[in-house]
Structure 1
Amino acid sequence: MKLSAPSLAATDGISHGFFTRQGGISGGLYASLNCGPSSRDDAANVTENRARVAELLGAERDRLLSVQQQHGARAVIAERPWKAGAAPQADAIVTATPGLAIGVLTADCAPVLFRDARARVVGAAHAGWRGALSGIIEATVAAMQELGARQKNIAAAIGPAISQRAYEVGHDFMQTILAEDADGAPYFAIDEGSGEPHFDLAGYVGERLARAGVGDVSDLGVCTYCDETRLFSYRRSQHHGESDYGRQISAILLA
């Protein structure tokens, strides 16, 4: 039902999970642990799925927070649950509040979970290419520092995301990235057959984590597109001509 990162799992008093699509109650395209409120799945199913995730992390069923993701670079600090329907627009959450689970939703973008075990601060970021390019990783680290974290003490793990092999992009896409960040060049590879570039999203997110001074960076190396049994994928759903897609959640909790 969930994947874990050894660097985060070894930390006492912090629980986390990169949850898969398995173990929920949704059916059809959303089978079965769809945690995305913005999908067209039955809202009651999504609520129950998220409650199950909260319980597995060790939180109360209604204390799993996510945000209205924008593919941007805003990170927010959570001190208490949001009011119903009032989740902020952002792409990362950090907290130092015990018992408050924080998470991000993905279906090809890279989820990143953070912890500073000494400062007792955790974070969760949604890093698509736009967010990574515009600074969501750096914003998350800065927000953690506001709560007392230190860069060298932060461990970050990159969860399931679309792999470079499956992520064909256009030359315009590549030029957009390189116009803003020339150091992104190593994360493109030209396919010998199609002549089109492929982008290593997880690798680029790892590069941005290193630039942000994060002391311990790991990558689960799991591809959302390739693993249809366990993971939702937006791009795969488009290739299959499906009308919608589910979202998996990656979340972390201070006990």
Structure 2
Amino acid sequence: MKINHLLLSIIIATLFLSSCSTPSYFIPAAAGNDVSYLPKPMESDSVKVKNYIIASIGGLLLPYSSGDVNMGFLNYSRAHTLKNINIAYGAFGFAGATNYDRDYSNKENPIPEFDGKSVYGGGFRTSIGYYDNAGNAEFRILSWENALSFENGNYASFRKRMRNLNDPNIISSTKTTLFTTGGATEIIWHGKRNYNNHFAFRLFYGITPGLNSSLRTQYDLDVNGGAFDFAFYFKLNKFFGIINTGANKGGTSKLSLGYSF
């Protein structure tokens, strides 16, 4: 009888530990960092059409301490400001590598093979929105923003290989092309003395069609949620900076410096 109780306790403990296990989770490198702030002239600017060159460093932190991806971005965009309407469009390229920190080895189901995989690709971004003015502030009430990205490199091949293992402890998307679309709202204002100094906060929320379904497996893992991005923008004459933070399955962050002309 005592042996039966002992066996039952072991089985219950095993089931409990299994239910608490965390999988290794691999998503496309561009997820979350494909969307980014696109600068646009204010209506108060003397020049209503501007070009922007931006260099960025960004990171993607994968869920469940599965690792992270570090990347550099080079972006070019052009923007037009009309009466109550603004439009921006541009292209970007990125390159980087995956990183598996030693601290991640403490997690359940670690996969150190993830470390050192190359990542590179590119894409396009667009934004069109409606705005209104109040004093030295411009309320960009609603913008429709889109990003299309393409990924290549050893990390993309690694994700496909992990998916083909059919391991319940590995969740991996094989997608290498992402399209993210959604809405954004923003407030931007200029200095009272210097109209060329701008400051802005922007909030974006959208979806990446097909990303959630690409992560689902026969093990009925519930995968939901969309893409979120928060940005702070500041411009001093022709130079500017952007700080982005967000999430699209993984946590993202990006620091950008640029020049407008």
Q: What is the TM-score normalised by the length of structure 1? A: 0.29
Higher relative contact order, chain-length normalized (CA < 8 Å, sep 6+): 1
Between structure 1 and structure 2, the one with the greater Rg is: 2
Higher helix share: 1
Which has more strand, going by share of residues? 2
